[in-house]
Structure 1
């Protein structure tokens, strides 16, 4: 049996920020970070554009950023949370800079600020076109300074431990569900351990792998959301899956390479196969409209013209400035045979970000006692029906701080639950055919991409649910008889994610933000959230 005071599932910006702040406050308490691959393989690492923050009072203001966020969220943002994140965000970003994160500056030492879709001002701090990589580097380096932070790579969390594992009936109506830790597999040995914790933070990232084409790394399988749902935690707003409008189109390649929205912020223009700059027909903000509008416009153009992609035109942009700001995009496009300074870049939307997730309060507390959540796996109320570009990193910083503050107040009043039984693998065998898992994953991704993508309707959603029901039945039968493996657990989690997305989409009988149903093309008069 393993024990730790603070358990963190995930090593992106949310988990590492929580770890550093907690280590600073409690140098004598044990902090354990679990990651199923290497510590730097997170959604944070792949964030290109930057972090939205108001730190230029001469040209920008908190109120402008707040209004931009509310407009993008299409009526579903929690305004109190929006104001909290944006006003507290400046201090949190300053802390990250003190920890060694380097954002680009001009020759006079002023920060270079980008502008992305939905923003009224230039407020995006960035490090070339690899901002997430730089943030992850700095946070891992800062975390390594603390001897009480222990990072366990290649450990896969199978389930959250609650009263259910002690033999008690736990349901959605149980008001005092408690988290005692997790069951976790050492991937290198296959051994499954119980790891008891006083405080558990879920910072496990997103679920883009539910779709055939995504900008997310292969680790983004929605594990934290699915585990919280199985533990009877509250989940909301899963129908709002953000498709990034401009992923590099390469047939059959996934994950897709992201072409950051900052390219359009610097002047890139979307064109269809006929060379027409089509965005002016969809929104007066043209190429810098919010992501939901741009993604639907591209989807419409692709269907209208019968093509699999549109183009991003950067040929008119300043070459020296482009190469300075977007060196990795330029090199990656070259590898695919496109010189983006002389040729247009083929792009298409790809699943990118989950705006819903584990429902939390303003301190990151979930409906399960002693379980916190922050980052993409959580639903804080900031994003509403559509995330404003580059708000996610800011949200993770602010809520990681708030989770750390709340957990610090409670840690000394919590005791370990010593009665948790060992993992029971009796009656299971190694899988005879991995194709039972790999083919089911392909089927799931096809169902979600074909029926529950950018544009939906009731018939598609019904078909998706029927097929998910069958996949769920087959996979649960396999889970009951097969020795645990990360591949099987990820499949099981992704099927749960698919169910939550479809269920939320069926409930929302309107079109709002990222959820567009052709059977209900307008807003309803009453705005509701479905909590599952």
Structure 2
């Protein structure tokens, strides 16, 4: 190995969950090392627009409560949330926001001086706080990044984690990584926290940045952990539609625009959500995305429109990021509707972990979008994600400190470290295959074809570069997602099967859990996690 480093806690990822964990761990006296395969600000957090859903006892809508936030979350999750996880995470929300503000984050305030609140899809009250109008994620990322730098926490930028390493006793002992020049090195730590974000780059069109390549899912699987609910990929209903535009990340049109009165109309000017759901344009995202795709198909168009002209002259101030993206595309949202379509946005499933970030592998923790805590179920409630990262990131750091203190974790010797080799599929082929067969509206024939395509195209390559590491992560995660989606023979939340259109609570109100066997094959554990109906 070319280089080495060490810490008590190795944090992989620099989004809200990772940086929150790093700050809390440092407060608890732990030696922390943060690893980012790009710049600190390159993750998903900075792109989040809408806000953070939280019930703060001192400032809330009349009649709103933590209980109502819990019930809204359970309803959106369509029977697959863990009621205990939902309650525990949301109950910690107000304190997490207080800590974030103490770290320097600034939120928009109303004329009365209280924090401004908006309402998004699936919420029964105005409880979403925001910053910079529609730049909440950017402000959260700024505040946490500056706090980490100010606290002297070391961050290895341009370093890609290749593999979680186990010691001679089988316990987690650190990670193999490569630096910006693809030189391998070992990071020694008895605790590794995966906070790597999402998997949006599985698809040709996504709201996710280029770094969202499912790294944490693959790392966890190869380390022996289980993953659950990967079939539940949330497609954001409204990204800016650009005919013939670039592949990859598309500008997001935050749900808060509909919260302020905008409505969806088709190319004929007819309301898209009328009669689709009691909440109409503020229905949960899976309902809105499915309705948009259905109406686009019916009208022979590739998009619908979001008519936000009702917001009027205040649009640029309230939604400066959206306004700038529209103007760059030649659209004036003050006077004309915005063309929108759906794109891969958020993974509701992930590495099976509890609300303290613990996985089934001793010493391996997960927090944020990469984790499956039971909060999101079959469909994430809008703006619950930043809150989850804040809460579980902090709780995971506390869990590591406790586990170290009571002797559950200890340093162990790492034997000879070999550069692994894994199956890799060309990214363009993988994205086109997944978009065609594993997007909104799936069936077994298409997913079977996708699985065969990926299997035929896979070539085993040594993981020497960031590109190869990312492509191997996308390949393994795509195979796992297809396996989970084929197993779930029903439609639920953001998993829509055209060959099984009904929801089947009798058979499928449980999570689909996968892991790798000793030979490296994906297997269903046969023990789904039973969930509590909403």
Question: Under a length normalisation based on structure 1, what TM-score does the superposition of the two structures give?
Answer: 0.91
Matching residue of 1:337: 330
* Distance in 2 of aligned mates of 1:58 and 1:154: 44
Q: Could you tell me how far 1:145 is from its partner in structure 2?
A: 2.2
Q: Select which of 305, 308, 315 maps to 2:299.
A: 305
Distance 1:58 1:117, change over 3 A: closer
RMSD: 1.6
Q: Select which of 148, 155, 171 maps to 1:143.
A: 148
Q: Give the 3-state SS of the residue equivalent to 2:172 in structure 1.
A: coil
1:319 aligns with 2:313: yes
Q: Give the 3-state SS of the residue equivalent to 1:121 in structure 2.
A: coil
1:443-473 deviations in Å (ceiling 9; x for gaps) = 100110000001111111111111121233x
Matching residue of 1:172: none
Q: Give the 3-state SS of the residue equivalent to 1:279 in structure 2.
A: coil
Matching residue of 1:245: 237
Q: Select which of 1, 17, 20 maps to 1:17.
A: 20
Matching residue of 1:89: 93
Trace 1:122-137 onto structure 2 (pairs within 5 A).
122-127=126-131, 128-137=133-142
* Distance in 2 of aligned mates of 1:109 and 1:238: 42
1:214-273 deviations in Å (ceiling 9; x for gaps) = 000000000011111122211000000000000001133221000000000001110111
1:180-238 deviations in Å (ceiling 9; x for gaps) = 11100002x22100111021110000000000000000000000111111222110000
* Distance in 2 of aligned mates of 1:263 and 1:420: 54
Matching residue of 1:492: 472
* Distance in 2 of aligned mates of 1:449 and 1:235: 21
Q: Could you tell me how far 1:18 is from its partner in structure 2?
A: 0.6
Question: Do 2:166 and 2:414's aligned partners in 1 also have CA atoms closer than 8 Å?
Answer: no
Question: Do 2:173 and 2:413's aligned partners in 1 also have CA atoms closer than 8 Å?
Answer: no
Matching residue of 1:185: 178
Matching residue of 1:171: none
Q: Could you tell me how far 1:58 is from its partner in structure 2?
A: 5.1
Question: Do 1:358 and 1:379's aligned partners in 2 also have CA atoms closer than 8 Å?
Answer: yes
* Distance in 1 of aligned mates of 2:307 and 2:11: 42
Trace 1:87-486 onto structure 2 (pairs within 5 A).
87-127=91-131, 128-147=133-152, 149-162=153-166, 178-187=171-180, 189-250=181-242, 251-253=244-246, 254-320=248-314, 322-412=315-405, 413=407, 414-424=409-419, 440-472=426-458, 474=459, 476=460, 479-480=461-462, 484-486=464-466
1:58-107 deviations in Å (ceiling 9; x for gaps) = 52101111110000000000001111111111111111111111110012
> What stretches of structure 1 move > 6 A for 4+ residues in a row?
none
Q: Could you tell me how far 1:57 is from its partner in structure 2?
A: 4.3
* Distance in 2 of aligned mates of 1:181 and 1:363: 20
Q: Could you tell me how far 1:162 is from its partner in structure 2?
A: 2.1
Question: Do 1:264 and 1:288's aligned partners in 2 also have CA atoms closer than 8 Å?
Answer: yes
1:298-342 deviations in Å (ceiling 9; x for gaps) = 01011111111111001122312x222101211111010001111
Distance 1:178 1:419, change over 3 A: closer
Question: Do 1:185 and 1:193's aligned partners in 2 also have CA atoms closer than 8 Å?
Answer: yes
Question: Do 1:193 and 1:422's aligned partners in 2 also have CA atoms closer than 8 Å?
Answer: no
Question: Under a length normalisation based on structure 2, what TM-score does the superposition of the two structures give?
Answer: 0.91
Q: Give the 3-state SS of the residue equivalent to 2:426 in structure 1.
A: helix
Q: Give the 3-state SS of the residue equivalent to 1:516 in structure 2.
A: coil
Question: Do 1:205 and 1:376's aligned partners in 2 also have CA atoms closer than 8 Å?
Answer: yes
* Distance in 2 of aligned mates of 1:302 and 1:518: 16
Question: Do 2:46 and 2:138's aligned partners in 1 also have CA atoms closer than 8 Å?
Answer: yes
